[in-house]
Amino acid sequence: MRFIVTPEIFEKLPDLYVGVVVAKGVDNSQDYPNIDELLNKYIKFSQEKFDGVNVKQNEEIIPYREAFRKIGINPNRYPCSAEALFKRLSKGKDLPHINPLVDLNNAISLKYTLPMGTHSLDGIEDNIMMRVAQVGDNFIPLSTDKIEEPDEGEVVYAVGKDVRTRRWTWRQSEHGKITNETHDVFFPIDGFTDVNKNTVNKARTDLAMKITEIFGVKTQVGYVDRNHPEFEWE
């Protein structure tokens, strides 16, 4: 199976760099107190870091806002997932604990100030693609059964016609949602070669090590950029 970023994405975002972690055979149904501790630690860390800060003017967030504009998305109306996360925390609000894989993803995202995703690989045969939306694509917002059709040309993560995220990293779908029954998972870590490639790589390594330590499974790691637009795993 492969993760593919299509050429039209690199035409708009030539410096796009996506770190990838894939894990299989995870038991996501148990309680993992160390993940709870990590998430709580980085919630507090982020609340302090962004207390009184205008998040959209933060130097780590600005590149994502600029990238959103380059691909035709208004970041004021549709902020990237990291910006939305830190806006919430800057107001002193907490994040809910959802399940171990999602909580671990959020903890690493907070630690490194990066947008990160979690996508179930269970039961899929098509490749995961970052591409522009096409006629016939469908998206189901989290916790709903409403079917939406993304705007044609909108940047999405998709598996076949099932859109996993709309407007790049703005909103996630019921398609590929991580649940307690999820066993195989794909994590994309979105960044840029000229801004935060090293940070993305550190987050990727950190996440992979913690998955192995906590869940006792091996991981496969890689990346996608303009010169390497595909990452394949077994």
Task: Check pLDDT > 90 for residue 66.
Answer: yes
Residue 139 lies inside a defined structural domain of this protein: yes
Examine residue 99 and state whether it is found in any structural domain, yes or no. Answer: yes
Residue 233 lies in a domain: no
Residues 173, 142 contacting (CB under 8 angstroms): yes
Which of 178, 227, 210 lies closest to 21 in space, CA to CA? 210
Q: How confident is the model at residue 196 (pLDDT cuts 50, 70, 90)?
A: very high
Residue 92 has pLDDT above 90, yes or no: no
CATH number for 203: 3.50.40.10
Specify the number of domains making up the chain.
1
How far from the centroid of its chain's Cα atoms is residue 163's Cα?
Answer: 14
Range of the domain at 144: 2-228
What's the distance, CA 188 to chain centroid? 5
Provide the residue type at 104 as one letter: L
pTM of the model: 0.96
The predicted structure's pLDDT at residue 158: 97
**Number of residues that make up the chain:** 234
Token readout for 186 is 């794909």
Confidence band, pLDDT 50/70/90 cuts, at residue 225: very high
pLDDT tens readout for residues 116-140: 999 999 999 999 999 999 999 999 9
What pLDDT, on a 0 to 100 scale, did the predictor assign at position 152?
A: 87
Predicted confidence band of residue 143 (pLDDT cuts 50, 70, 90)? confident
- Assess if residue 234 is contained within a domain: no
Q: Nearest 5°: phi and psi at 33?
A: -55, -30
Residues 116 and 178 sit within 8 Å (Cβ to Cβ): no
Asked whether residue 190 is assigned to any structural domain, the reply reads yes
